[in-house]
Chain A
Amino acid sequence: GQQLNQSPQSMFIQEGEDVSMNCTSSSIFNTWLWYKQDPGEGPVLLIALYKAGELTSNGRLTAQFGITRKDSFLNISASIPSDVGIYFCAGYTQTGANNLFFGTGTRLTVIP
Protein backbone atom coordinates (compact mmCIF):
# COMPACT_ATOMS: atom_id res chain seq x y z
CA GLY A 1 0.00 0.00 0.00
CA GLN A 2 0.91 3.66 -0.08
CA GLN A 3 3.34 4.83 2.58
CA LEU A 4 3.04 8.09 4.46
CA ASN A 5 6.02 9.31 6.47
CA GLN A 6 5.06 11.39 9.43
CA SER A 7 7.49 13.43 11.51
CA PRO A 8 8.43 13.86 14.17
CA GLN A 9 7.45 10.58 15.78
CA SER A 10 7.10 12.25 19.16
CA MET A 11 7.31 15.71 20.67
CA PHE A 12 7.61 17.06 24.19
CA ILE A 13 6.72 20.72 24.48
CA GLN A 14 5.90 23.27 27.14
CA GLU A 15 2.36 24.52 27.46
CA GLY A 16 1.93 27.65 25.38
CA GLU A 17 4.43 26.67 22.70
CA ASP A 18 3.54 26.22 19.06
CA VAL A 19 3.78 22.80 17.42
CA SER A 20 4.46 21.80 13.85
CA MET A 21 4.32 18.33 12.33
CA ASN A 22 4.28 17.10 8.77
CA CYS A 23 3.48 14.21 6.54
CA THR A 24 5.10 13.28 3.24
CA SER A 25 4.45 10.65 0.63
CA SER A 26 5.95 9.46 -2.61
CA SER A 27 2.42 9.35 -4.03
CA ILE A 28 -0.03 12.06 -4.90
CA PHE A 29 -3.22 12.33 -2.88
CA ASN A 30 -6.48 14.08 -3.69
CA THR A 31 -7.26 14.89 -0.08
CA TRP A 32 -5.27 15.17 3.12
CA LEU A 33 -6.84 14.58 6.49
CA TRP A 34 -5.57 15.12 10.01
CA TYR A 35 -6.89 13.05 12.92
CA LYS A 36 -6.22 13.18 16.63
CA GLN A 37 -6.40 10.14 18.89
CA ASP A 38 -6.73 10.59 22.61
CA PRO A 39 -5.50 7.80 24.88
CA GLY A 40 -7.98 4.92 24.88
CA GLU A 41 -10.12 6.46 22.15
CA GLY A 42 -10.53 6.24 18.41
CA PRO A 43 -9.18 8.86 15.99
CA VAL A 44 -11.24 12.02 15.58
CA LEU A 45 -11.13 14.07 12.39
CA LEU A 46 -9.63 17.53 12.93
CA ILE A 47 -9.14 19.04 9.50
CA ALA A 48 -9.76 17.99 5.90
CA LEU A 49 -7.92 19.56 2.95
CA TYR A 50 -9.32 19.13 -0.54
CA LYS A 51 -7.04 20.94 -2.96
CA ALA A 52 -3.36 21.66 -3.43
CA GLY A 53 -2.20 24.80 -1.66
CA GLU A 54 -5.26 24.95 0.57
CA LEU A 55 -4.70 26.37 4.03
CA THR A 56 -7.42 25.61 6.57
CA SER A 57 -7.83 26.48 10.23
CA ASN A 58 -9.85 24.92 13.01
CA GLY A 59 -9.41 27.00 16.13
CA ARG A 60 -5.75 26.84 17.12
CA LEU A 61 -5.05 24.26 14.43
CA THR A 62 -3.89 25.14 10.95
CA ALA A 63 -3.15 22.65 8.20
CA GLN A 64 -1.94 23.00 4.64
CA PHE A 65 -2.19 20.78 1.57
CA GLY A 66 1.21 20.87 -0.15
CA ILE A 67 1.41 22.20 -3.68
CA THR A 68 2.98 18.99 -4.93
CA ARG A 69 0.03 17.06 -3.39
CA LYS A 70 2.58 14.80 -1.74
CA ASP A 71 2.73 16.47 1.63
CA SER A 72 0.82 18.27 4.33
CA PHE A 73 1.60 19.95 7.61
CA LEU A 74 -0.32 20.64 10.80
CA ASN A 75 0.41 23.48 13.19
CA ILE A 76 -0.98 23.89 16.67
CA SER A 77 -0.60 27.30 18.24
CA ALA A 78 -0.40 28.07 21.96
CA SER A 79 -0.57 24.42 23.03
CA ILE A 80 -2.62 23.39 26.06
CA PRO A 81 -2.56 20.18 28.11
CA SER A 82 -5.59 18.72 26.33
CA ASP A 83 -3.66 18.77 23.05
CA VAL A 84 -1.90 15.64 24.30
CA GLY A 85 -2.48 12.67 22.04
CA ILE A 86 -1.41 11.10 18.80
CA TYR A 87 -1.90 13.04 15.57
CA PHE A 88 -2.32 11.08 12.37
CA CYS A 89 -2.21 12.29 8.82
CA ALA A 90 -4.16 10.43 6.18
CA GLY A 91 -4.07 10.69 2.43
CA TYR A 92 -7.04 9.92 0.26
CA THR A 93 -6.87 8.59 -3.27
CA GLN A 94 -9.74 7.75 -5.57
CA THR A 95 -8.20 4.44 -6.66
CA GLY A 96 -9.85 1.24 -5.46
CA ALA A 97 -11.94 0.62 -2.37
CA ASN A 98 -9.04 1.14 0.02
CA ASN A 99 -8.86 4.87 -0.38
CA LEU A 100 -7.45 6.10 2.90
CA PHE A 101 -3.82 5.64 3.95
CA PHE A 102 -2.56 6.63 7.37
CA GLY A 103 0.76 7.86 8.70
CA THR A 104 2.41 6.33 11.75
CA GLY A 105 1.42 9.25 13.95
CA THR A 106 3.09 11.98 15.98
CA ARG A 107 2.77 11.55 19.73
CA LEU A 108 2.46 14.93 21.41
CA THR A 109 3.14 15.51 25.09
CA VAL A 110 2.42 18.94 26.57
CA ILE A 111 4.16 19.77 29.81
CA PRO A 112 2.14 22.14 32.00
Chain B
Amino acid sequence: ETGVTQTPRHLVMGMTNKKSLKCEQHLGHNAMYWYKQSAKKPLELMFVYSLEERVENNSVPSRFSPECPNSSHLFLHLHTLQPEDSALYLCASSQDPGAKEAFFGQGTRLTVV
Protein backbone atom coordinates (compact mmCIF):
# COMPACT_ATOMS: atom_id res chain seq x y z
CA GLU B 1 0.00 0.00 0.00
CA THR B 2 1.54 3.27 -1.10
CA GLY B 3 1.82 6.25 1.22
CA VAL B 4 -0.52 8.59 -0.63
CA THR B 5 -3.26 7.15 -2.82
CA GLN B 6 -5.39 9.10 -5.25
CA THR B 7 -8.53 8.04 -7.08
CA PRO B 8 -9.51 8.06 -9.81
CA ARG B 9 -6.29 8.04 -11.83
CA HIS B 10 -8.06 9.45 -14.87
CA LEU B 11 -11.24 11.48 -15.19
CA VAL B 12 -13.03 12.98 -18.15
CA MET B 13 -15.88 15.29 -17.34
CA GLY B 14 -18.15 17.74 -19.09
CA MET B 15 -18.32 21.37 -18.08
CA THR B 16 -21.68 20.89 -16.37
CA ASN B 17 -20.72 17.79 -14.43
CA LYS B 18 -19.97 17.45 -10.74
CA LYS B 19 -17.21 15.09 -9.72
CA SER B 20 -14.86 14.54 -6.79
CA LEU B 21 -11.22 13.59 -6.48
CA LYS B 22 -10.17 11.54 -3.49
CA CYS B 23 -6.87 11.34 -1.65
CA GLU B 24 -5.90 9.11 1.23
CA GLN B 25 -2.62 9.07 3.11
CA HIS B 26 -1.34 6.22 5.25
CA LEU B 27 1.70 8.00 6.66
CA GLY B 28 0.21 9.47 9.82
CA HIS B 29 0.86 12.98 8.54
CA ASN B 30 -0.97 16.03 9.80
CA ALA B 31 -0.93 18.16 6.66
CA MET B 32 -2.40 17.50 3.23
CA TYR B 33 -2.24 19.49 0.02
CA TRP B 34 -3.79 19.81 -3.40
CA TYR B 35 -1.53 20.84 -6.27
CA LYS B 36 -2.32 21.48 -9.91
CA GLN B 37 0.24 20.48 -12.52
CA SER B 38 -0.15 21.96 -15.99
CA ALA B 39 2.21 21.47 -18.89
CA LYS B 40 5.37 23.60 -18.75
CA LYS B 41 4.33 25.33 -15.54
CA PRO B 42 5.56 24.85 -11.97
CA LEU B 43 3.42 22.91 -9.58
CA GLU B 44 0.74 25.24 -8.30
CA LEU B 45 -0.33 24.91 -4.69
CA MET B 46 -4.12 25.09 -4.41
CA PHE B 47 -5.02 24.21 -0.85
CA VAL B 48 -3.31 23.31 2.41
CA TYR B 49 -5.00 21.50 5.27
CA SER B 50 -3.58 21.03 8.73
CA LEU B 51 -5.41 18.66 11.04
CA GLU B 52 -8.55 19.00 8.94
CA GLU B 53 -8.51 22.80 8.93
CA ARG B 54 -7.78 24.78 5.80
CA VAL B 55 -4.76 26.99 6.35
CA GLU B 56 -4.08 28.18 2.83
CA ASN B 57 -6.20 28.90 -0.21
CA ASN B 58 -4.20 30.32 -3.07
CA SER B 59 -6.95 32.27 -4.81
CA VAL B 60 -8.42 29.17 -6.32
CA PRO B 61 -11.75 29.59 -8.17
CA SER B 62 -14.82 28.50 -6.25
CA ARG B 63 -15.53 25.79 -8.80
CA PHE B 64 -12.87 23.85 -6.86
CA SER B 65 -14.07 22.98 -3.37
CA PRO B 66 -11.84 21.02 -0.97
CA GLU B 67 -12.99 18.91 1.92
CA CYS B 68 -10.92 17.30 4.64
CA PRO B 69 -13.11 15.11 6.87
CA ASN B 70 -10.13 13.76 8.85
CA SER B 71 -6.38 13.92 8.76
CA SER B 72 -6.10 10.91 6.44
CA HIS B 73 -8.56 11.93 3.74
CA LEU B 74 -8.80 14.85 1.39
CA PHE B 75 -11.30 15.50 -1.36
CA LEU B 76 -11.49 18.00 -4.17
CA HIS B 77 -15.04 18.59 -5.38
CA LEU B 78 -15.32 19.84 -8.95
CA HIS B 79 -18.27 21.74 -10.39
CA THR B 80 -18.76 23.57 -13.70
CA LEU B 81 -15.12 23.37 -14.69
CA GLN B 82 -13.58 24.95 -17.76
CA PRO B 83 -11.39 23.26 -20.39
CA GLU B 84 -8.37 25.17 -19.07
CA ASP B 85 -8.82 23.29 -15.78
CA SER B 86 -7.61 20.16 -17.50
CA ALA B 87 -4.41 19.14 -15.73
CA LEU B 88 -2.85 16.61 -13.41
CA TYR B 89 -4.11 17.13 -9.87
CA LEU B 90 -1.69 15.95 -7.23
CA CYS B 91 -2.35 15.32 -3.59
CA ALA B 92 0.51 15.44 -1.11
CA SER B 93 1.03 15.08 2.60
CA SER B 94 3.69 16.06 5.09
CA GLN B 95 4.25 15.65 8.79
CA ASP B 96 3.19 19.24 9.45
CA PRO B 97 2.18 22.22 7.26
CA GLY B 98 5.65 23.67 7.61
CA ALA B 99 7.47 20.39 7.00
CA LYS B 100 10.13 20.45 4.35
CA GLU B 101 9.41 17.15 2.67
CA ALA B 102 6.14 16.42 0.94
CA PHE B 103 5.08 13.00 -0.31
CA PHE B 104 2.94 12.93 -3.40
CA GLY B 105 0.22 10.68 -4.71
CA GLN B 106 0.18 9.46 -8.29
CA GLY B 107 -2.22 12.16 -9.36
CA THR B 108 -5.55 12.32 -11.17
CA ARG B 109 -5.34 13.23 -14.85
CA LEU B 110 -8.40 15.43 -15.41
CA THR B 111 -9.75 16.31 -18.82
CA VAL B 112 -12.61 18.77 -19.09
CA VAL B 113 -14.54 18.57 -22.35
> CA separation between A88 and B41, bound complex, in Å?
11
A102 contacts partner chain B, Cβ-Cβ < 8 Å? yes
Identity of the chain A residue whose Cβ is nearest the Cβ of B41 in the assembled complex: A104
- From 60 to 113 in chain B, residues with beta carbon under 8 angstroms from any chain A beta carbon are 90, 92, 97-98, 100-107, 109
Q: Chain B: how many interface residues by the 8 Å CB criterion?
A: 26
Q: Is the CB of B42 within 8 A of A103?
A: yes
Q: Which of B6, B43, B58, B100 contacts A92 (CB 8 A)?
A: B100
Residues of A within 8 A of B (CB): 4, 30-31, 33, 35, 40-45, 48, 50, 88, 92, 94, 96-105
Q: Can you list 22 A-B contacts (CB < 8 A)? A: A30-B100, A31-B100, A33-B100, A40-B107, A41-B106, A42-B6, A42-B90, A42-B104, A42-B105, A42-B107, A43-B90, A45-B103, A48-B100, A92-B100, A97-B48, A97-B50, A97-B98, A99-B100, A100-B102, A101-B42, A102-B43, A105-B42
